[in-house]
Chain A
Amino acid sequence: MSSANLSRRAVVKAGAAAAVAAPALAACGPSAGGGDGGGKTLIRFLYATGDATWNEVVAAVTEAFNAQSENVVVEPEPLPAAADYATALKTIDATGNWPALVDMRDTLTYMEAGKIAPIPESVTALLSDEVYSPAEDGSVYIVPSTALNGEIGFNIVYDKDYFEANGLAVPTTYAEFIALMDAIKANGDVPLAMAAAEVWPSDQIWKPLAAPTFAQYSESGGFWNTVEAGEATIADLREPMERLKTITDEYALEGWQSTQDAQTSTLLVNGQAIMATSSAGLGRLNDIAKVDPDYNAGLFIIPADDGTLNVLKNSVNGETASGIAISKQAQDDGAQYDAAVEFLEYYYSVEACDLMEATGVVSPNIKAAAEVTRNSSIPGAADYFGLLENPKLAWYENEPNNPNHSTFQTFFRQSRIEMMDDQITVDELIEKSQDEFEKNMAEG
């Protein structure tokens, strides 16, 4: 039948069928936040797979929760380790398809944009008071996913057997750290494996180096706020920048530009480097133990000139705060919000915390922490717990107030890599970073 012979009624019918089919097909796509889980409410939990251990923790806890919940099924939704998680989160926002539970980044930005929902007291009541804080409107929007030990997990992981065989010791000052790397180099070995392929792991070496400078501004509102107020400049970071350059040029394993975070464990176990940067703390030790149970790993923090171990204290509701949030989209749904709350109530139970500890991470700071069974079986775990009691440990704060700060940090990270990679000088890094900082803050 040619189209010319179609009756008007047939044409109208075909058009109507097509018009009905289009939205029906569109409805075949995934529903926002979750869907039907065999009579139960299905919700998604989006998280970053930074390391294998964290992946296993999420899998273990969701599986245990699903087994005991009568109403809810939680589906873990990992984002690949190589992805830039913050950017991926933004992409998810653009699709308008938020999961009910989100491992949050750039929290302040999303909180101010109304994308995350208040977390009820039934959840926060389970947590120690110091690990959550209400925002200006009085609501709590983010709760910790693991123990809130700040950036104490920004460590140098090392081969203890090698240290022992060569008479080397964990450095107690920055000068000793450099001397340690010189000694390893003199042995014909490569001192340090670093990663920058996903960009963010470059922080693992930068943050400990910059910590002594940041710490100086802790009591005056933090370094970044002081720079924004015009009372400090990025040039004040010249010394850590120069140290970063020296370490990169003199002691780092070649290929760091294209090395991914997780690959540093393999480099360490293979003996291609004696030490490696990490930001996963106990999780990294657990990963190494799984790759090679016989590898005798330890960890330490790069000390300041005077031996202080400056560690950034967690922000509990600012831009740099990370943890678990419930999406506004789930709140609008109602059932999804209730399901997310039920999961969080389980997440902060002793049973779930025991599971987390057994899988290899330090569980969140809950009120019933004394009942949690701690896992000290991971090789090197004593070093990690020892850091928390180290008399040289000094917590500092550096929470930026400007919501545009994450925009600047993305730029600053890439610019530092340019400097490390000899594309620009330290002077050029300072100049371009200062310009970008002023522009970003003015727009914030």
Chain B
Amino acid sequence: MTDQQVLVKALPAEPPPAARPAPGRRRARFDRQRTAMLLFIAPAAILYALMMIVPSLQSIQFSLTDWDGISDTFQYVGLRNYEDILTSGRFWNAVRNTLILGLGSAVVVNAIALGVAMMLDKLDHAQGFFRTIVYLPALVSGFIAATIWKYVLNYNFGAVNSTLKALGLDAQTRDWLGDHDIVLWVLLFIICFTLGGNTTLIYLANLQSVPQELVEAARIDGASRAQVFRYVTWPMLAGAVTVNMTLMMIAGWTIFDQIMVLTMGGPGFISETMAFFIYKVGFGEYRAGYGSAAAVVLFIVVMATTMIANRYMRSREIQA
């Protein structure tokens, strides 16, 4: 038996044309497979539809009513809730805060995460240890992290102000969570601090998959470190940038727990975000119809901005 014969024998035999299932049987088998797949996903799909899709569609209905969220009855008020929202200074303040926290955290976290990922990538020793350290804050729930920050930043008892006073820097003490000039930036800092772990790991994974032959070729051609990053590494990370920016922006648009724990939207209304605004008017002020209308507007804003940003970022991606 020749080598070629052995190879041919090892390959699965091509069924003779007469042995192939008839098109009707193939279709029946395909239908069975599809039915099986549908049955497997049905329980989850039904639950998802009942828990997510139906309430989401219902909030469009409620957004056109004066429902207080408790009573059995409500009246349709047309687009009045939308008119009230779009003419409300409080709502636009929440939109502004959401944009600052959403876009701000997306940019800051991505910049810091990329820098940290590059440092981790260059580590020759104990990379696992440092990777764990970087990821640890992401394991703490936003609620718990915010509660810890609340104590750390307390004006009268907090560690930050106590340390500043101990160092003789009394003039630098601030009411970090109560000063309306800085509270939003303090929130941005806290949010960035908590959300960086996942982003760093995604960048690190992408950095480690950048083809080394491209890097070496660039270096042989005389490219500096900065030029290697600018013309080789950075374009290869475009996909990761798209994913990370999109995830961070969506997380930013729906920031709620940090606001709830740290400031309750205050002092006054100054640090309300759209998600907190919806919760506050819908649940705290018995205006579920109004809150639903705000939720619909938030959905449109999230969809529009994410799609625009995504389209831009995808346009600059290249395939490795």
| In the assembled complex, A443 has its CB within 8 A of some CB on chain B | yes
Given contacts A199-B266, A257-B175, A257-B178, contact A14 B39 (CB under 8 A): yes
Least CB distance from B279 to A in Å reads 8
Q: How far is the CA of A6 from the CA of B32 in the complex (A)?
A: 9
| In the assembled complex, A94 has its CB within 8 A of some CB on chain B | yes
0/1 interface trace, chain B 151-179, chain A, CB 8 Å (1 if under)? 00111110000000000000000011111
Q: How far is the CA of A21 from the CA of B35 in the complex (A)?
A: 20
| A11 touching B36, Cβ below 8 Å | yes
| In the assembled complex, A372 has its CB within 8 A of some CB on chain B | no
0/1 interface trace, chain B 279-306, chain A, CB 8 Å (1 if under)? 1100111110000000000000000000
| B39 touching A255, Cβ below 8 Å | no
| In the assembled complex, B42 has its CB within 8 A of some CB on chain A | yes
Closest to B287 in A: A407
Stretch in A44-52, A142-150, A409-417 touching the partner: A409-417
Q: Which of A91, A199, A256 is B264 in contact with, Cβ under 8 Å? A: A199
Given contacts A84-B284, A417-B267, A418-B269, contact A258 B39 (CB under 8 A): no
How many B residues touch the partner, as a band? 35 or more
| B157 touching A263, Cβ below 8 Å | yes
| In the assembled complex, B70 has its CB within 8 A of some CB on chain A | yes
Q: Which of B29, B43, B68, B72 is A22 in contact with, Cβ under 8 Å? A: B43
Least CB distance from A31 to B in Å reads 19
Given contacts A3-B36, A93-B70, contact A15 B42 (CB under 8 A): yes
| B269 touching A255, Cβ below 8 Å | no
| In the assembled complex, A18 has its CB within 8 A of some CB on chain B | yes
A86 / chain B contacts, CB cutoff of 8 Å = 284
Given contacts A12-B39, A87-B283, A407-B285, contact A4 B33 (CB under 8 A): yes
| A417 touching B177, Cβ below 8 Å | no
Least CB distance from B48 to A in Å reads 11
Q: How far is the CA of A411 from the CA of B286 in the complex (A)?
A: 12
| B177 touching A258, Cβ below 8 Å | yes
| In the assembled complex, A423 has its CB within 8 A of some CB on chain B | yes
Q: Which of B157, B266, B284 is A266 in contact with, Cβ under 8 Å? A: B157
B42 / chain A contacts, CB cutoff of 8 Å = 15, 18-19
Q: Which of B37, B39, B47, B268 is A421 in contact with, Cβ under 8 Å? A: B268
| A6 touching B36, Cβ below 8 Å | yes
Q: How far is the CA of A11 from the CA of B38 in the complex (A)?
A: 10
Q: How far is the CA of A422 from the CA of B268 in the complex (A)?
A: 10
| In the assembled complex, A218 has its CB within 8 A of some CB on chain B | no
| A406 touching B286, Cβ below 8 Å | yes
0/1 interface trace, chain A 22-44, chain B, CB 8 Å (1 if under)? 10000000000000000000000
Main secondary structure of the interface of B (DSSP, over half): loop
| In the assembled complex, A81 has its CB within 8 A of some CB on chain B | no
| In the assembled complex, A253 has its CB within 8 A of some CB on chain B | yes
Given contacts A115-B70, A259-B155, contact A91 B287 (CB under 8 A): no
Given contacts A19-B43, A94-B69, contact A109 B286 (CB under 8 A): yes
Q: How far is the CA of A14 from the CA of B38 in the complex (A)?
A: 12
Least CB distance from A97 to B in Å reads 14
A115 / chain B contacts, CB cutoff of 8 Å = 70
Given contacts A11-B35, A14-B40, A266-B157, contact A112 B268 (CB under 8 A): no
Q: How far is the CA of A259 from the CA of B155 in the complex (A)?
A: 8
| A418 touching B178, Cβ below 8 Å | no
B96 / chain A contacts, CB cutoff of 8 Å = none
| B175 touching A258, Cβ below 8 Å | yes
Q: How far is the CA of A212 from the CA of B5 in the complex (A)?
A: 107
Q: Which of B37, B156, B179, B264 is A263 in contact with, Cβ under 8 Å? A: B156
B69 / chain A contacts, CB cutoff of 8 Å = 90, 93-94
Q: How far is the CA of A115 from the CA of B72 in the complex (A)?
A: 10
Q: Which of A237-281 contact B (CB under 8 A)?
A: 253-259, 263, 266-267, 272
Given contacts A3-B33, A90-B69, A407-B285, contact A11 B39 (CB under 8 A): yes
Q: Which of B34-59 contact A (CB under 8 A)?
A: 35-37, 39-40, 42-43, 46-47
| A87 touching B280, Cβ below 8 Å | yes
Given contacts A254-B175, A421-B180, contact A415 B286 (CB under 8 A): no
Given contacts A18-B43, A423-B270, A443-B66, contact A255 B156 (CB under 8 A): yes
Q: Which of B127-149 contact A (CB under 8 A)?
A: none
Q: How far is the CA of A198 from the CA of B177 in the complex (A)?
A: 12
| B68 touching A109, Cβ below 8 Å | yes
Q: List 16 A-B contacts (CB under 8 A).
A: A8-B32, A15-B39, A82-B261, A84-B284, A90-B284, A254-B175, A258-B154, A258-B178, A258-B263, A407-B285, A410-B284, A417-B267, A418-B269, A423-B180, A423-B270, A443-B66
- Nearest first, the 8 A-B pairs at minimum CB distance are A257-B178, A255-B155, A418-B268, A258-B178, A15-B39, A87-B284, A113-B70, A257-B267
Chain A interface residues (CB < 8 Å from chain B):
3-4, 6, 8, 11-12, 14-15, 18-19, 21-22, 82, 84, 86-87, 90-91, 93-94, 106, 109-110, 112-115, 196-199, 253-259, 263, 266-267, 272, 404, 406-407, 410-411, 414-415, 417-418, 420-424, 439, 443
